[in-house]
Amino acid sequence: MPIQFSKKPGLVIYLTAGDPDLATTRQIAIAAIDAGADVLELGVPFSDPLADGPVIQRAMERAVGRGVRLTDVLTLCKEIRTERPQAGLILFSYLNPVLRMGLESFCAEAKAAGADGVLLTDMIVEEAADYMAAMKKHGLAPVFLAAPTSPDDRLKAIAEHTEGFLYAISRTGITGVSSTLSDDASKLVQRIRQFTDKPIALGFGVSNAEHVRAVGEYADAAVIGSAIVAIIEKSTPQEAPTAVAEFVRGLRG
Amino acid sequence: MEHSIIDPVRTLGNGRFGAYGGRYVPETLMAALQELERAYAAVREDQAFQGELAALLKDYVGRPTPLYFAKRLSESLGGAKIYLKREDLLHTGAHKINNALGQALLARRMGKQRIIAETGAGQHGVATATVCALFGMECVIYMGEEDMRRQELNVYRMRLLGAEVRGVGSGSATLKDAINEAMRDWVTNVRTTFYILGSALGAHPYPTMVRDFHRVISREAKQQILEHEGKLPNAVIACVGGGSNAIGAFYEFIPEPNVRLIGVEAGGRGTALGEHAARFSGGLPGVLQGTYSYVLQNDAGQVATTHSVSAGLDYASVGPEHAMLHDQGRATYTSATDAEALDAVKVLSRTEGILPALESAHAIAEAIKQAPKLAKTDVILVNVSGRGDKDMGILAREMELKGAGA
């Protein structure tokens, strides 16, 4: 299933798998897809999520505390794929849980679970040869990140090696909601455009309809993470799917 | 994972120690790591920089440190002669100042005025706060709340020196979590901020750079032991948290095949995961905080909590060069328990009048085990990485609990 953005801008929705519990994450995921999410990023809970801000960090801690494992996330991925075959599904992880399972086993199981691609926060292109070979072998898209601090030679390499879409980080910093999008964001997307026609999704700090509209002027998709995770944190498990669906519907104005 | 797709400036080698090391960081940090790599490669060859560093190490820090023959300790054990490399006599009380000074000089040269650092036992934080005061730099230190409680005196010292100490309550509230927060700060403020990493770990070029700044330990020790004994030691022993004092103490001896290198990890209070910080006996290769090395983790790849009576050894991973030395069999890694370390503090204090840091006491504990097995003509060199003043609160509590009196 190739990753496709049906409307402009496309919506990529991040969920920490297992927060508040796996069954609720599945319901939230389906509700988000039905409300207009093109791609779901399923976050694998990790003990040391150093690229993430406090909201996602707390969600990771809760899920790790419940004993949620990479294998559980793969099962969840398969369930969502079965119920909503059209959605884009990306596994979002830090490297260590993947290494623990083994790169080859992970890629084989991710493919079997119906994932379209994988995003590893702490995997940079220079270190990724074995990873990309395994991903290619199993027909999975490696999604790489580009930052405002990345010089042009790095953007070129990132653009070349990313598949599915390229994840542009709107600002220096960790994940989290911000009131305005930084000027860095549009400049970065323009710089990346020199090197590729692949879809570019912009994330970090994207948290409301106004942001999504602004992102749509220069990027192909917006990634919303912390704002969703914060809604889940504030809701009961019963309320969360509806609350997230309402929020996602409102994002395209 | 040893390949390279694009070919960055690799003046310091490829950042690999065998299979270990590398760079596993958020993309936002890559430009800063490459900038740091270039800047460090330049000062490595720069006579003016090296001259300024050497002068400060001599006049401000107090190098060379003595190599002291611990006669009463050696006699009481009835075996090899034990020599102590006295890094505890350095300004600020531990080897950490070697590296903090080197990195601060580099930061100044790169025009970065804001310094961040993390600290476990507080010795690296104190060293960083000290050099920031010396150079008039803004200084923020991240420290786990559990470590702030254990090392309260060092928190006061850092604040007195003008640093802001930010407590970290997430995870186990120890060194690992302080490093996560320091990296988050760095990701956010990467354009203006220099991260003085406190051990020989993290992403390339840190493991190489930190090792280079601590190499002076073994450079001096090698010359000193030849002067004292006319031969190289049979063994060099050092404690291993992240591994900075150990790699500094080992480095010049690595090409000497007859010198055994022994690293001592924190055996804590038991062998179950979470009760110790013995990465080589309890861990597996993995990625934590930017580098590929041995990591204490569960079977799902979650990083384990650790325990040690010494905050400076209480860390779930270890510097990648140690991982390579371990796999090569060039160095041996063993562990000392909390109880053995506490006993070693007492033994060294009462035989030599030297109160070692709890970290260094792990190395002393190994020397106490090794010396009686060796001949009286054999020589053991132990790196006393820091002094124990910072640990007085914990020593008082632990030794009273043990009924040993204080």
Question: Which domains, and CATH codes, for chain B?
Answer: 67-93+207-399 (3.40.50.1100)
Provide mean pLDDT across the span B36-43. 95
pLDDT(B245) > 90: yes
Measure the CA–CA gap between A100 and B135, rounded to whole angstroms: 44
Question: How high is the pLDDT of residue A6?
Answer: 80
- The predicted pLDDT at position A7 comes to 84
Contact B188 A172 (CB under 8 A): yes
Which of the 8 DSSP states describes residue B17?
A: E
pLDDT of residue B402: 60
Nearest CA-CA distance, residue B236 and chain A, Å: 33
Question: Of A44, A95, A96, A135, which to mutate for an interface test with B (greatest number of B Cβ within 10 Å)?
Answer: A96
Has residue A80 got a pLDDT over 50? yes
Q: How far is CA A63 from CA A16, A56, A60, A69, A241, in A?
A: 8, 10, 5, 9, 17
pLDDT at B2: 38
Q: Residue A181 has what pLDDT? A: 86
**Residue found under tokens 């310094």:** B115
DSSP B297: B
> Any idea how long chain A is?
253
What average pLDDT score do residues A63-91 get?
Answer: 97
Residue B95 binned pLDDT confidence (cut-offs 50, 70, 90):
very high
Distance from CA of B28 to the nearest CA of A (A): 5
**Residue B401: pLDDT band with limits 50, 70, 90:** low
Q: What is the pLDDT of residues B70-83, one digit of tens each?
A: 999 999 999 999 99
pLDDT score, position A179: 85
Peptide bond into A20 cis (omega under 30): yes
CB pair distance less than 8 Å for B188 and A158: no
Mean per-residue pLDDT of chain B? 94
Q: Predicted ipTM?
A: 0.96
Q: A220 an active-site residue? A: no
- Strands B81-86, B379-384: parallel, antiparallel or unpaired by DSSP? parallel
Report the gap between the CA of B209 and the closest CA in chain A (Å): 20
Query: Strands B284-288 and B260-268: what pairing?
Result: unpaired
User: Residue B267: what are its φ and ψ, rounded to 5°?
Assistant: -80, -10
Q: Given an 8 Å threshold on Cβ–Cβ distance, is A96 in contact with B286?
A: yes
Of the candidates A48, A144, A149, the beta carbon closest to that of B288 is on: A48
Q: In the predicted model, is pLDDT for residue A253 greater than 70?
A: yes
- Residue B284: pLDDT band (50, 70, 90) is very high
**What mean pLDDT do residues B281-295 have?**
96
Q: Which residues 14-53 in chain A show a CB within 8 A of chain B? A: 46-51, 53
Helical packing angle, A54-65 and A226-234, nearest 10°: 60
First-to-final CA distance of chain A: 28
Is residue B406 scored above 50 in pLDDT? no
pLDDT at B94 over 50: yes
Question: For the residues A215-244, what does the mean pLDDT come to?
Answer: 98
Q: What mean pLDDT comes out for the span B98-120?
A: 97
Q: Is the pLDDT higher at B8 or at B294?
A: B294
Sign of CA pseudo-dihedral B399, B400, B403, B405: positive
Mean per-residue pLDDT, B380-390: 97
Of A52, A72, A116, A220, which residue is the catalytic one?
A: A52
For residue B147, give the H/E element and its range: helix B145-150
Domain chopping of chain A, boundaries? 10-143+204-251
pLDDT at B98: 98
Q: Taking CB atoms and an 8 Å cutoff, what residues of chain A touch B188?
A: 172-174
Superfamily name and number for A10-143+204-251:
Aldolase class I (3.20.20.70)
Q: Which of residues 136-155 of A touch B (CB under 8 A)?
A: 144-151, 153-154
Kindly tell me if the per-residue pLDDT of B7 is higher than 50. Answer: no
Query: What confidence tens digit (pLDDT) does each residue in A7-54 have?
Result: 889 999 999 999 999 999 999 999 999 999 999 999 999 999 999 999
Checking if the pLDDT of B6 tops 60, the result is: no
pLDDT for A252: 87
Q: Does position B9 have pLDDT exceeding 80, yes or no?
A: no
Which of A20-29, A169-178, A212-221 is least confident?
A169-178
Task: Find the mean pLDDT for residues B383-404.
Answer: 86
- Cβ within 8 Å, pair A98-B301: yes
Q: What are phi and psi of A140, to 5 degrees?
A: -105, 150
**B205 has a pLDDT exceeding 90:** yes
- Residue B14 has a pLDDT of 73
Cβ contact, residue pair B180, A96, below 8 Å: no
The average pLDDT across A74-83 equals: 98
Residues of A in contact with B295 (CB under 8 A): 96
The structure tokens 């399972």 sit at A101
Position B292 pLDDT exceeds 50: yes
- Find out whether B365 and B238 touch, Cβ atoms under 8 Å: no
Exposure on the CB side of residue B135, measured as CA atoms within 13 A: 25
CB-CB: which of B30, B184, B285 is closest to A124? B30
Q: Is there a catalytic annotation at residue B390?
A: no
Lowest mean pLDDT among B150-164, B167-181, B251-265, B330-344: B167-181
pLDDT at B267 over 50: yes
